[in-house]
Chain A
Amino acid sequence: MLAACGSNTGRGGNGQALRQWYHAYGEPGVQQAVERYAKSYPKTPVDVQWNPGDYDSKLATSLLSDGGPDVFESTLQISSVRSGQVVPLDDVFGDARSDFSEPILATHTVDGKVYGVPQAVDMQMLFYRKSMFAQAGVQPPSTVDELIDAARRLTRDGVKGLFAGNDGGGGVLAGPALWSAGLDYVRDHQVGFDDPVAAQAIGKLRELYTSDSLLLGAVKDWAEPDAFTQGLVAMQWTGLWAVPAVQKALGDDFGVLPFPKLTSAGSPSVPVGAFGAMVNAKSKRIDEAKEFVRWLWIERTDYQEDFNLGYGFHIPPRKSISAKASKLTSGAAADAVKFVRDNAKASNPPDWTSVMRTAFNDAVSRVVRDGARADEELRGAAAKVRDELKRLYG
């Protein structure tokens, strides 16, 4: 019954299909689309594999063995570069390099070399319900304090002010909170939040959490707009991908905002990230794999447009494509494109390793949910991040 016992999986030997991996996109049609792209590649047969579930762990495990894919999508981690798991792709870009959005390309660059060809840009932002704001006489917030105030005033009659994840905002809003105060995760190989202002910025998340205006424990988490579209909240932190669903449910009754600034040194921000196509260094057919990546994500601009805008809602990483996409010229989508141009921050930079992330997230979670002292917790996290940076850069 298991066709897997058969032979069409193309593992190992020459003359067989290249293996390409995607994680499971939620939007209907994407799987069929990428299979169609692969099928139309004239030079080599390509087997597309769709991976539901914990993609990161599955990919990590497979890259250690010889059974992994030739081409896969992922965000870039410095550890995979240092351990030689991925191949530099500078030469596949050619003239097109300058057409890729610079901050996006930076998330796929380590030590000056590019390891991934960005496929689709995702970004997060704040959605708000215009009618609820008007009813409560609240203006769209432009500072963190205004945001907290707005959340408080919009909380009434079983409606909460803001939904920013079932963990109370400590997860998705920690980065924006740093940026709001002009800080960062890591900056020039140094700890980016080793500053007394950081405690103030994260303290604001605690203030939000204890203000009794957050929705907590919703059925679907922040990545889906259900709490917002069902009218459980007046504001929700979610992503560009939610725009079609929100539009369908609420029509014009919503607007979008970046995370506001806290201090004059800080700025509004939207976290951005992009999956990039990468080539497995263990592949026996690196050149063929690179050629396929070049063909699919650089030569076939029509596919890039289809992939980004045909199913869900992403921003094409190439400026020439995003500029002419009609879907992105009006309403919330146009705002999002503007935010990405002016306020983009890498949601997961390559040298923000999992050790650093765990240390930082733990600290933030303890501050926000347990009311631990922000300065002490962040100092502890900074020390850990410093150790890790020292290991990476000496």
Chain B
Amino acid sequence: MRNGRAFWLFVGPFAIGLLVFVYVPIVWSLLLSFFDARNTVTPTSFVGLRNYADMLTDKPFLSSLGTFSVFAAFIVPLTFVLALALALLVNQISFMQAFFRSVFFLPTACSYVVASLVWKLSIFNGVRFGLANTVLAWFGAEPIAWTVSTSPPWYWLVLVTLRLWLQLGFYMILFIAGLQRIPHHLYEAAWIDGASRGWQTLRHITLPQLQTTSVAVVLLLLVAAYQAFDEFYNVLGTDRGYPPFARPPLIYLYYTALGSGGQDFGHGSAGAVILTLLIAGVTLLQGRVITR
């Protein structure tokens, strides 16, 4: 009983806030998903599972889930490998280590709004004076309309590089932290056994020792990719709405529930529940597969 009081002394304030500002809205959303809730959040017309049936047969929504898979398929492995590579490089040097670490970590300070601005208006704009097109021109190539062209889909290059720039530093730090926890005697033992300093120690000591970090990194990357919104919205969205390609689920739901004149909270919430179940499913599955 005394433990109960102590527990709530510590957890209580947080729990109350969580209840009011997180769980009330969640439950509210859940309720909305069973109603015809256009332009209202206090609906009266109960429709059962119809919103769910609609969303599960809605082609754009399903294709937005496909979009996520494509995006995740690029961004998760790329970030993982590059962040690990940066971490290994930075961790192995002594001179100017802090400098390099700072440089790679610095983009984390930027918001997606700022990064989108730079990518869309300065690096990858479609006219002659964009940085990417200027570089192309040095090699005599024609300018490319990066965010417009759908064949080939250059916009993926724009979106993936943007996210890489913003998030690599953070995951690099996670890996560096993981590397510093590996006991040095493991390496010494391996060297005595004649292992070479490069690939063999990486494969047999570093990677297995980084397992918990790796699981956490993949998990965070997956959830972040699922929830992709900001850079897509700022790079590809226009005042005419959002194009039908590279449309992640959250963007689609945003336009369903909040976009100009949308305000269909029933379908929006049903889609959100489906998305949440999917994230939870993938997360559990991933956790199980990797830790096995």
Name the residue of chain B whose CB is nearest to the CB of A81: B39
Q: Which residues of A contact B121 (CB under 8 A)?
A: 219
Asked if B216 is at the interface of the complex by the 8 Å CB criterion, the answer is no
Asked if A370 is at the interface of the complex by the 8 Å CB criterion, the answer is yes
Name the residue of chain B whose CB is nearest to the CB of A76: B261
Asked if A142 is at the interface of the complex by the 8 Å CB criterion, the answer is no
A60, A218, A361: which contacts B240 (Cβ < 8 A)? A361
Name the residue of chain A whose CB is nearest to the CB of B239: A223
Minimum C-beta distance from B268 to chain A (A): 11
Q: Which residues of A contact B256 (CB under 8 A)?
A: 354
Q: How far is the CA of A166 from the CA of B130 in the complex (A)?
A: 14
Asked if B262 is at the interface of the complex by the 8 Å CB criterion, the answer is yes
Name the residue of chain B whose CB is nearest to the CB of A61: B258
Q: Which residues of A contact B124 (CB under 8 A)?
A: 217
Minimum C-beta distance from A166 to chain B (A): 6
Report how many residues on chain A are interfacial, defined by Cβ distance under 8 Å.
Answer: 39
**B39 and A219 contacting across the interface, CB-CB below 8 Å:** no
Minimum C-beta distance from B21 to chain A (A): 15
Asked if A145 is at the interface of the complex by the 8 Å CB criterion, the answer is no
Q: Which residues of A contact B40 (CB under 8 A)?
A: 64, 83
Q: A165-B238, A167-B148, A217-B148 are in contact. Are A77 and B261 (CB under 8 A)?
A: yes
Contact with A along B242-265 (1 / 0, CB 8 A): 011100000000011011111110
Q: A217-B145, A218-B126, A218-B127 are in contact. Are A85 and B261 (CB under 8 A)?
A: no
Minimum C-beta distance from A70 to chain B (A): 18
Asked if A45 is at the interface of the complex by the 8 Å CB criterion, the answer is no
Looking at chain B's contact residues, is the secondary structure mostly helix, strand, loop, or mixed? loop
**A216 and B126 contacting across the interface, CB-CB below 8 Å:** yes
Q: How far is the CA of A190 from the CA of B224 in the complex (A)?
A: 42
**A57 and B239 contacting across the interface, CB-CB below 8 Å:** no
Name the residue of chain A whose CB is nearest to the CB of B133: A217
B125, B259, B263: which contacts A79 (Cβ < 8 A)? B263
Minimum C-beta distance from B234 to chain A (A): 11
Asked if A171 is at the interface of the complex by the 8 Å CB criterion, the answer is yes
Within 8 A of B (CB), among A142-159: 158
Name the residue of chain A whose CB is nearest to the CB of B237: A54
Within 8 A of A (CB), among B105-129: 121, 124-128
Asked if A276 is at the interface of the complex by the 8 Å CB criterion, the answer is no
**A80 and B39 contacting across the interface, CB-CB below 8 Å:** yes
**B126 and A217 contacting across the interface, CB-CB below 8 Å:** yes
A216, A232, A353: which contacts B145 (Cβ < 8 A)? A216
A64, A77, A79, A370: which contacts B150 (Cβ < 8 A)? A370
**B264 and A355 contacting across the interface, CB-CB below 8 Å:** yes
**B60 and A358 contacting across the interface, CB-CB below 8 Å:** yes
**B259 and A167 contacting across the interface, CB-CB below 8 Å:** no
Q: A165-B240, A215-B127 are in contact. Are A369 and B148 (CB under 8 A)?
A: yes
Q: How far is the CA of A168 from the CA of B256 in the complex (A)?
A: 24
Minimum C-beta distance from A66 to chain B (A): 11
**A369 and B150 contacting across the interface, CB-CB below 8 Å:** yes
Q: How far is the CA of A215 from the CA of B145 in the complex (A)?
A: 9
- A residues near B (Cβ < 8 Å) are 56-57, 60-61, 63-64, 77, 79-80, 82-83, 85, 158, 165-168, 171-172, 215-219, 221, 223, 232, 353-355, 357-358, 361-362, 365-366, 369-371
Known: A83-B40, A358-B60. 9 other contacts (CB 8 A): A64-B40, A165-B238, A216-B148, A217-B125, A217-B147, A354-B259, A355-B262, A362-B60, A371-B151
